[in-house]
Amino acid sequence: MTGCPFFIAAPNLLHRIRNPPIEVEQLDPISHLSFNIFIALANGSQQMYNNIKEALQRYDNRIVLDSYFIVKSRMERMTGVFKVMADMCTNGCIAYTGPFSHLEACSVCNEPRYLEHTSTCKKKKPRKQFTTIPLASQVQAQWLSCEGAECMCYLTQKTAEILRNTDIDNNIVINSYKDICHGSDYLEAVLEGRMQEDDTVVMFSLDGAQLYRDKESNCWFFIWILLNLSPEIRYKKKYILPGGFIPGPNKPGNLESFLLPSFRHLSALQKGGTTSLGQFTMQMNSHPPFFPLWDS
């Protein structure tokens, strides 16, 4: 990958994006059990996992589950889902990104950015942060397995089928409009060479959610949808890629400042592509995400 996601500073995370795994990680029986328990406790705490780990070991001292940290790290490697934190106004007015990144107080409500007792320290501690989940490693993970790579070939295969359906004047004939691949914007991008075979096509979506009955528990989340996948599966939870989370209770004020890390990351991918190994073709490919824009 030649482009660099500007907001990813941790060397190990950058290395993961630039050098993705070339095969699915194999788990031994104990690691597989650890993984299954971790997933079953998705809404639980680290302490709950440790309690089960200790209970199993008391039952049979040969059953020593992997530590919570090891399982979590393996989950990140296998799914490509890891978080990047950024500071935000405690009232949700702005995110301290782009032109606001140098501010020490909110330009709207004037609330301080950092906890008071750390404001004069070398390492200041922010009062509030939001989460961005980079797209690149998640796309790489989708291409990694045979099943995932085969599913990602839907759009390429459907596009080729559409381009073959022409009349006597060699004009493309579309009998029904059912998916993005039937749209004129997409087909123009393909015919003009802006879209290549197996390029990654993504759609972005943002919404708010009330987590509990208490209205103070609002949050906003954003996701990426892989349009390379068939419409039958692309909207299922298993295939939707998380993009990030903005804590409430207030609605984000300057929304663009919260989305800036995601879209700068996307821009870097469009310029440089993401290195991934497609198990279905067994070739190294560069997949620059195509982000179609539709008028509202």
135 and 244 in a single domain? The answer is yes
Q: What tokens does 150 get?
A: 């085969």
47 and 148 in a single domain? The answer is no
75 and 218 in a single domain? The answer is no
Which of residues 79, 95, 110 is at a domain's end?
A: 79
**ω before 288 within 30° of 0 (cis)?**
no
Do the domain assignments include residue 293?
no
- Return the bridge partners of 7, or none: none
125 and 252 in a single domain? The answer is yes
Q: Are strands 218-226 and 275-278 parallel, antiparallel or unpaired?
A: unpaired
Number of compact structural domains in the chain: 2
- Return the bridge partners of 88, or none: 95
Do the domain assignments include residue 105?
yes
Q: What tokens does 97 get?
A: 């990104």
Do the domain assignments include residue 110?
yes
Q: What's the pLDDT tens digit per position in 121-171?
A: 778 899 999 999 988 888 888 888 888 889 999 999 999 999 988 877 778
Do the domain assignments include residue 174?
no
203 and 229 in a single domain? The answer is yes
pLDDT in tens, the chain (296 residues): 334 444 555 666 666 667 776 677 788 899 999 999 999 998 788 999 999 999 999 999 999 999 999 998 888 877 778 888 999 999 999 999 999 999 999 999 999 999 987 766 778 899 999 999 988 888 888 888 888 889 999 999 999 999 988 877 778 888 888 898 888 888 988 888 888 877 888 899 998 776 666 556 688 999 999 999 999 999 999 899 999 999 988 999 999 999 999 998 888 777 766 555 544 443 434 555 666 555 44
Note the pTM of the prediction, 2 decimals: 0.78
Q: What φ, ψ does residue 245 adopt, rounded to 5°?
A: -140, 135
Do the domain assignments include residue 10?
no
Which of residues 79, 103, 127 is at a domain's end?
A: 79
118 and 257 in a single domain? The answer is yes
How buried is 240 (Cβ within 10 angstroms: 0-12 exposed, 13-18 middle, 19+ buried)?
Answer: middle
From the centroid of its chain, how far is CA 236?
Answer: 15
Say if CB 158 and CB 181 are below 8 A apart. Answer: yes
222 and 145 in a single domain? The answer is yes
Do the domain assignments include residue 187?
no
Residues 142 and 31: their CA atoms lie apart, in Å, by 22
Do the domain assignments include residue 181?
no
Given its phi and psi angles, is residue 171 left (phi above 0), alpha (psi -120 to 50 degrees) or beta? beta
Do the domain assignments include residue 3?
no
Q: Which residue has the tokens 């404001």?
A: 119
74 and 205 in a single domain? The answer is no
Q: What φ, ψ does residue 290 adopt, rounded to 5°?
A: -100, 125
Q: Are strands 241-247 and 129-132 parallel, antiparallel or unpaired?
A: antiparallel
Q: Which residue has the tokens 């708010």?
A: 208
Which of residues 79, 103, 130 is at a domain's end?
A: 79
278 and 133 in a single domain? The answer is yes
Cα R_g (the chain), whole angstroms: 22
Say if CB 112 and CB 68 are below 8 A apart. Answer: no
Say if CB 16 and CB 137 are below 8 A apart. Answer: yes
Spatial CB neighbours of 24, under 8 Å, sequence gap ≥ 6 = 78, 144, 145
61 and 126 in a single domain? The answer is no
Residues 173 and 165: their CA atoms lie apart, in Å, by 6
31 and 106 in a single domain? The answer is no
Q: Which residue has the tokens 């405690």?
A: 90
148 and 32 in a single domain? The answer is no
Which domain, by its residues, includes 32? 20-79
pLDDT at site 276: 56
